[in-house]
Amino acid sequence: MNSKNYTHAIMFHHFHGLGHPQVQGSISGVEFEEMLDWLSSRFTILSAPVYLEKLKKESLRPTDICLSFDDALLCQAEVAVTVLNKRNIQAFFFVYSSPLVGKPDPLEIYRYFRTVEFSDIGQFYNEFFKEAEGLYDESIFAAKQSYDSTSYLSAFPFYSESDKWFRYLRDQVLDKEKYDFVMNRLMDRYRFNQKEASTKLWMNDDHIRRLSEAGHIVGLHSYSHPTMIHKLSKERQAEEYVANFEHLSSVLGHNPIAMSHPCGNYGDETLDILKKMGIEVGFRRDSSVTSITSNLEVPREDHANILRQMKQ
């Protein structure tokens, strides 16, 4: 196990069980426990506050790691936290504010809709294609003439024909507005309640307050989770983090001191903003950088990579 000296933190997203559906990459509470056992036999899992103290004092040992959870997903509070409490491990939870203040992220909603309303992805594609053709008949007809299925996304051989055609329509033919329109029509057709879905997808202010009271560290993850925050102007980046900071500090009753970079993206300006806010630790999304270059750039290993290593 060569890579073990390079693991600093583990990043988790979706969990299933207790009413939360299985989605791509999700793990159950039992799998989470197995993973913690596997990790404990190789590393020392530190509680978040201890990890932060040792990071600041530069006294982390190569085998010290911490656990972190992004995106304020309710499945984390209901599936993972039960396990954490049982083992008395405090973790980092990174919260983006928009879903908690009534502006849910459409991508997460779409994923949930696909999962709960359709028996498989093929059935979803059929309905999506029908709906899109009904609305944008002419542009889709034209797209069919120019579409070359052998060359499109040929770098991803695991994509089916429908996977590719769906992505072509979504990314090349329909713009975001039209794509959202098709999805909304489809959700209406299925009488899918987006508001209700969002209460099942995300934590609310009470959940994050309870996490903090239980000793977990709740930190920033931007306001609206831009996919490429480093491409925004410095002012827009500051707005994202200030709004997130204000929301969390009012709920928690203290200032956040930790954060993770949404989609792993940041630039020098971002780090400057975070430093001025008094943020003491920030996490990357990947482990392509193997050492901690600054306290605002701690690499993390995706839990999917840990699962892969466990199976080896």
Count of positions (residues) in the chain? 312
CB contact burial 112-141 (16+ within 10 A = b; e otherwise):
bbbbebbeebeebbebbbebbbeebeeebe
Report the amino acid identity of residue 198. S
SS3 of residue 215 by DSSP:
coil
Which is nearer to Zn ion, 64 or 240 (by Cβ)? Answer: 240
Q: Show contacts with Zn ion in window 230-269 (CB under 5 A).
A: 262
Asked if residue 301 binds Zn ion (CB under 5 A), the reply is no
- How many residues of this chain bind Zn ion (CB under 5 A)? 3
Which is closer to Zn ion, CB of 67 or CB of 186? 67
Q: Which is nearer to Zn ion, 71 or 240 (CB)?
A: 71
114 vs 225, beta carbon nearer Zn ion: 225
Collapsed DSSP state (helix, strand, coil) of residue 92: strand
Give 283: exposed, middle or buried? Use CB within 10 Å, 0-12, 13-18, 19+: buried
Q: Which is nearer to Zn ion, 165 or 222 (CB)?
A: 222
Q: Which of residues 65-94 bind Zn ion (CB under 5 A)?
A: 70-71
Name the minimum Å distance from CB 133 to Zn ion: 33
The answer to whether 263 touches 242, Cβ cutoff 8 Å, is no
Distance of CA 128 to the CA centre of its chain: 25
Name residue 51's amino acid.
Answer: Y
Residue nearest to Zn ion (CB): 70
Contact string (CB under 5 A) for Zn ion, positions 21-60, x = contact: ----------------------------------------
Q: Which residues bind Zn ion (CB under 5 A)?
A: 70-71, 262
